[in-house]
Amino acid sequence: MHILIVDDEMIIRNGLKNMMLTYSKPFSSIRVAENGQQALSMIAEYPPNIMITDIRMPKMDGLELCKRIHESYSFIRVVVISGFAEFEYAKQCMGYGVKEYLLKPVVKMDIHEMLDRLLSTMDKGVVTPTESEKWLDEMSEHIWKLRLQDVDKCLNEWLYYCSERTDHPDRLSELLDDSFQAVLDRLKVKGHNYTGTDANIEVGAFVEINERFRGRIHSLTDDLALRRGGFKDLMAEAKAYIEQNIAKEVTLEEVANLVGLTPNYFSLYFKKATGVTFINYRMTKRIALAEKLLALPHYRIVDVAHEIGYEDYSHFAKTFRKVNGLTPTEFRSRLGIK
């Protein structure tokens, strides 16, 4: 458990620190800052579990500090200590998620009772071995069989479960590092040696830690899929559907749903399989069909545009030129068609 005390008066900072040191439970660290600006620098370096701050301070006051904490470090429990004359400011702080408000002067009993209340609400539970083993087995199996939607579902459930049971980013980072390594170990037994980067997750905000873990799991799945060529059939199905519906405004989400992938996964694998984005692939196929139709003299150019799904002729002409370097009229002229 880590504490940060923020007050511009050295006597008060030291007094609060001494009160903390006499609490029944020891703390891993008790740091002090002279103002909100210094506090934010210290929090960025290593965030505390609990921050106790004054309201009136130079450079950055407690009100602005509480606002910044609420926006970027919402997991930190914030306690405001202020004088009676600053009560209106304290009420504003409450809107920024402040957990406790103490009126000056405070004594040791006030601090200890406040810590009792806060710590009782911070006991978020533990990740049980049974739940952990269950998740690791399911996730490893989903990845091994490339069941991508199940991977994402399992991933979301685990991140929620872990976040609900940890009260600090460093604990969450450690837990997710161990989870990732355990998944790697299970896949290694199955025969997959992951060659991607598996650097530990850096401590940051809860959301950032979760997203970095999500990215690692996705990279692991990508690596396995590409080695197996497991998406060749799916990509062939997707390309066939695009060509069969060339005149329709087929969306990436629509095709992703057809082949059973999430849009993000589908977009990634489609580009890896074809070398171009979904939009560029569809545009290129449309223009290729337009070239064939333009080679038929009985087709009017405007009819060709409609045939491949362009209601706006100018848009069609602009796109055609972008792909071919020629307008539809110039293209026909080169074929000897007037």
**Sign, Cα dihedral of 102, 103, 105, 109:** negative
Residue 109: predicted pLDDT: 92
Last residue of a domain, one of 202, 228, 254: 228
**115 and 19, same domain (yes or no):** yes
**Helix H or strand E encompassing 42:** helix 36-45
**91 and 181, same domain (yes or no):** no
CB 54 within 8 A of CB 12: yes
CA distances to 70, 267, 309 from 277, rounded to whole Å, are 39, 7, 19
Q: The sheet that has 50-54: what strands, in order across it?
A: 29-33, 2-6, 50-54, 77-82, 100-103
Residue 203: predicted pLDDT: 55
**188 and 138, same domain (yes or no):** yes
**165 and 275, same domain (yes or no):** no
The label of the residue with tokens 């150019």 reads: 301
For residue 256, what is the domain's CATH number?
1.10.10.60
**26 and 116, same domain (yes or no):** yes
Last residue of a domain, one of 121, 139, 170: 121
For residue 95, what is the domain's CATH number?
3.40.50.2300
**141 and 237, same domain (yes or no):** no
**116 and 202, same domain (yes or no):** no
CA distances to 5, 108, 124, 336 from 24, rounded to whole Å, are 18, 12, 20, 94
Residue 195 buriedness (CB in 10 A; 0-12 / 13-18 / 19+): exposed
**218 and 260, same domain (yes or no):** no
Q: Dihedral of the CA atoms 18, 22, 27, 31 (nearest 10)?
A: 0
CB 51 within 8 A of CB 69: yes
**311 and 269, same domain (yes or no):** yes
How many domains does the chain divide into?
3
Q: Annotate 107-166 with DSSP letters as a single string.
A: -HHHHHHHHHHHHHH-------HHHHHHHHHHHHHHHHTT-HHHHHHHHHHHHHHHHHT-
Residue 241: predicted pLDDT: 92
The domain of 26 spans: 2-121
CB 143 within 8 A of CB 182: no
pLDDT in tens, the chain (338 residues): 789 999 988 999 899 999 999 998 888 889 999 988 899 888 888 888 889 988 888 888 888 888 888 887 777 888 888 876 666 766 677 777 787 888 888 899 999 998 888 887 765 666 778 888 889 999 999 888 878 778 888 888 888 888 777 777 778 888 888 899 899 999 888 888 776 655 555 555 677 888 889 888 888 887 777 676 656 667 888 899 998 998 888 899 898 888 766 787 788 778 878 889 999 999 999 999 988 998 898 888 899 888 888 888 889 889 989 888 889 898 888 888 87
**256 and 296, same domain (yes or no):** yes
**215 and 273, same domain (yes or no):** no
Residue 85: predicted pLDDT: 63
Q: Which two tokens stand for residue 107?
A: 């004594």
Percentage helix, strand, coil for the chain under 3-state DSSP, each rounded to 5: 65, 5, 30
Phi then psi for 80, rounded to 5 degrees?
A: -105, 130
Residue 224: predicted pLDDT: 79
Last residue of a domain, one of 228, 245, 276: 228
Q: Which two tokens stand for residue 119?
A: 């710590």
**219 and 165, same domain (yes or no):** yes
